[in-house]
C-alpha cells in the first residue's frame, strides 16, 4: 500500500518519542526486554468475552451449538458476509482500488505486489501476502517456508542477531541475511491457511480455556496469553500461527507486513535489521521513513481474512463417517477438536478493538484444532519469546488445524512430512498414547481414518 508521506512522517516522530520513553522506563529492571518483546507483553490479564461455549463429555469434546448456525464454507473467492462482495474483481486496479470497501477490494490489496518504493524490504521474504497464502484460492496455505534460527545456552534461547526470523531476500545483495554458524537451532515454518480465520478470531477466550481444562492431564494444552497490539492492553488467548503467537488478525497482519515484506506500519513501526545491523530509513538502504504504511494495508488484510469462508469439506462417504468416529474414539479429537462455536454477535473482543459482527458471531466451525500449544515431540526449539517465562514453548507447537488438509502436500510445522501417515507417526509426547491407539486399529479401520482425513 502507498501511504501518505505526511502522516507517515508525523507518526514516525511519535514512534521515536515512544521508543525513547520505553528505553528510559526499562532502565534498572532486572530483565530488560527489547522493544519487540515489550510490544508482545500484555499489560493486563485476559478479559471476559462471553461464556464458554464448550463442554467435555468424558474425553469427547462437544461444542455448545444452541441457536448457532454453521459458518459458510467454500474455496470460491466469495465473501462470508462480513464485507460486501464489491465490484467485479478483474475491474479493480491500483488506481481505483478502495481499501476496506469490499471483499474484492481488500483481496486486491492482499494480492498487491510491493516494491522498494512502497516500502518493501530492505530485508523481506516475499512481495505480497498472496505469494505465501494462495492455495487453492487467495488466503489459503502454501509450500513456502520461513526460516528461523538461534542457539540455546543452558535452558535459555538466544535469537539470531536481529531476531530468529532469517529473511530470505533483500533489496541489496550485501544485506541479505545469512545463518550464523553459532546458531545451530534451525527450523522451517511452513505457510498456514488464513481462510475462515475471522471465525477463529471470534472464539471467546473462555471457550479455548474450557477446551484446555477438559483435556486429560497428560494431554492438556497450553493457552498463551498474548498482547493485542491495537487493544487496551488486555491480553487474549493466542490462536494464530504455529506458536499461537497472536490473538488478533490486525496484530498478525501488521506483524506479517513487517516480517514477511519489510513494510512498517503503526503497530510495527521499527524496521527490521539485516542480522542486527540497522538498514532502515537513513542508512541508505531504505528510501521511506517509518511507518511506511499508515495502517490501511494491515486493516485491509485483516478485513479480507475476516471476510473469507472457512475451508470446505470434500465428499462425505460412509467410510468418512466411520473414519471420523474412529478418529474421535482413539483420541485424536481431544486436540484436533471437530467443532467450536464463536461468541455471540455484539461481544467485545480484542481488548475493546473489535465487536463480534453478525456474519462471524454464533457460528459453528470445524477447524479440527484446539488452537492450543502441545508438546507432541516435534517442538522446533524456538520459544514464543526468548525469555525464561516462555522456555517451555520451545518444545510446543499449535495443534495444526486439519480443515483444508486435502489441499496440502507438505505437512507439520516444518513441511517435512510428506504423507498423512508420516505426520501421524511423528506424533510423540502428549500424543504418544493416542498414536498407539491409532496404530492398534485394524488396517481397514486405519484406511477409514485416512478416508476421513482426505475429506478435510
Task: Report the interface residues with ligand HEC, using CB under 6 A.
Answer: 125-126, 129, 131-133, 144, 146, 189-192, 194, 197, 219, 240-243, 249, 252-253, 256-257, 260-261, 301, 305, 330-332, 334-336, 374, 376, 378, 397, 399-400, 402, 405, 408, 411-413, 420, 423-424, 427, 430-431, 434-435, 438
Q: Least separation, in Å, of the C-beta of 21 and ligand HEC?
A: 28
Q: How far is the CB of 276 from ligand HEC (least distance, A)?
A: 20
Closest CB 198 distance from ligand HEC, rounded Å? 10
Nearer to ligand HEC, 144 or 170 (CB): 144
| Minimum distance of ligand HEC from residue 259's CB (angstroms) | 8
Query: Toward ligand HEC, which CB reaches closer, 356 or 400?
Result: 400
Instruction: Put residue 384 in one of left, alpha, beta given phi > 0 → left and psi -120 to 50 → alpha.
Output: alpha
Distance CA 220, CA 363 (A): 25
> What pairing do the DSSP bridges indicate for beta strands 363-365 and 69-70?
parallel
Cβ 373 to ligand HEC shortest distance, Å: 7
Question: Whose Cβ is closer to ligand HEC: residue 286's or residue 324's?
Answer: 324
- Which one, 48 or 94, has the nearer CB to ligand HEC? 94
Task: Name the residue nearer to ligand HEC (CB basis): 25 or 425.
Answer: 425
For residue 123, the cross-strand partners are 170
Q: Which is nearer to ligand HEC, 132 or 320 (CB)?
A: 132
Residue 197 beta carbon to ligand HEC: minimum distance, rounded to whole angstroms? 6
Q: How far is the CB of 441 from ligand HEC (least distance, A)?
A: 9
Nearer to ligand HEC, 26 or 322 (CB): 322
Are 438 and 332 in contact, with CB atoms under 8 Å apart? Answer: yes
Amino acid at each position: 500500500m502507498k501511504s501518505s508521506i505526511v502522516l507517515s512522517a508525523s507518526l514516525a516522530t511519535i514512534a521515536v518519542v515512544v521508543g525513547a520513553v520505553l528505553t528510559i522506563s526499562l532502565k534498572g529492571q532486572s530483565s530488560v526486554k527489547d522493544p519487540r518483546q515489550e510490544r508482545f507483553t500484555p499489560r493486563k490479564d485476559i478479559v471476559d468475552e462471553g461464556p464458554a461455549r464448550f463442554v467435555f463429555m468424558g474425553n469427547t469434546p462437544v461444542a455448545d451449538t444452541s441457536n448457532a448456525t454453521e459458518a459458510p464454507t467454500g474455496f470460491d473467492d466469495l465473501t462470508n458476509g462480513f464485507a460486501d462482495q464489491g465490484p467485479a474483481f478483474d475491474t479493480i486496479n491500483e488506481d481505483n482500488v478502495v481499501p476496506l470497501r469490499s471483499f474484492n477490494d481488500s483481496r486486491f490489496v492482499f494480492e498487491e505486489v510491493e516494491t522498494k518504493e512502497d516500502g518493501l524490504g530492505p530485508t523481506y521474504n516475499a512481495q505480497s501476502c498472496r505469494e505465501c497464502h494462495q492455495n487453492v484460492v487467495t488466503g489459503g496455505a502454501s509450500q513456502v517456508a520461513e526460516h528461523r534460527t538461534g542457539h540455546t545456552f543452558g535452558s535459555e534461547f538466544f535469537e539470531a542477531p536481529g531476531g530468529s526470523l532469517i529473511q530470505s531476500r533483500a533489496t541489496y545483495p550485501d544485506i541479505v541475511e545469512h545463518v550464523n554458524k553459532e546458531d545451530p537451532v534451525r527450523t522451517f515454518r511452513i505457510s498456514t491457511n488464513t481462510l475462515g480465520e475471522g471465525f477463529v478470531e471470534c472464539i471467546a477466550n473462555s471457550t479455548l480455556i474450557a477446551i484446555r481444562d477438559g483435556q486429560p492431564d497428560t494431554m492438556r494444552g497450553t493457552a498463551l496469553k498474548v498482547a493485542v497490539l491495537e487493544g487496551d492492553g488486555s491480553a487474549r488467548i493466542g490462536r494464530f500461527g504455529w506458536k499461537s503467537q497472536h490473538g488478533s488478525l490486525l496484530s498478525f497482519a501488521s506483524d506479517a507486513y513487517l516480517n514477511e515484506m519489510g513494510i512498517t506500519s503503526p503497530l510495527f513501526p521499527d524496521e527490521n535489521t539485516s542480522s542486527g545491523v540497522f538498514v532502515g530509513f537513513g542508512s541508505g538502504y531504505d528510501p521511506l521513513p517509518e511507518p511506511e504504511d499508515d495502517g490501511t494495508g494491515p486493516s485491509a488484510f485483516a478485513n479480507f481474512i475476516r471476510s473469507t469462508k472457512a475451508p470446505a469439506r470434500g465428499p462425505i462417504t460412509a467410510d468418512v463417517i466411520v473414519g471420523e468416529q474412529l478418529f474421535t474414539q482413539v483420541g485424536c479429537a481431544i486436540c484436533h477438536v471437530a467443532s467450536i462455536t464463536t461468541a455471540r454477535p455484539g461481544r467485545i473482543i480484542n481488548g475493546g478493538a473489535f465487536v463480534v459482527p453478525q456474519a462471524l458471531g454464533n457460528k459453528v466451525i470445524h477447524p479440527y484444532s484446539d488452537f492450543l500449544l502441545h508438546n507432541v515431540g516435534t517442538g522446533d526449539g524456538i520459544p514464543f519469546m526468548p525469555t525464561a517465562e516462555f522456555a517451555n514453548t520451545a518444545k510446543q507447537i499449535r495443534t495444526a488445524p486439519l480443515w483444508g488438509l486435502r489441499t496440502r502436500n507438505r505437512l507439520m510445522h516444518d513441511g517435512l512430512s510428506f504423507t498423512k501417515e508420516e505426520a501421524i507417526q511423528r506424533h510423540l509426547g502428549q500424543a504418544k498414547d493416542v498414536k498407539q491407539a491409532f496404530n492398534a486399529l485394524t488396517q481397514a479401520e486405519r484406511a477409514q481414518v485416512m478416508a476421513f482425513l482426505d475429506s478435510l
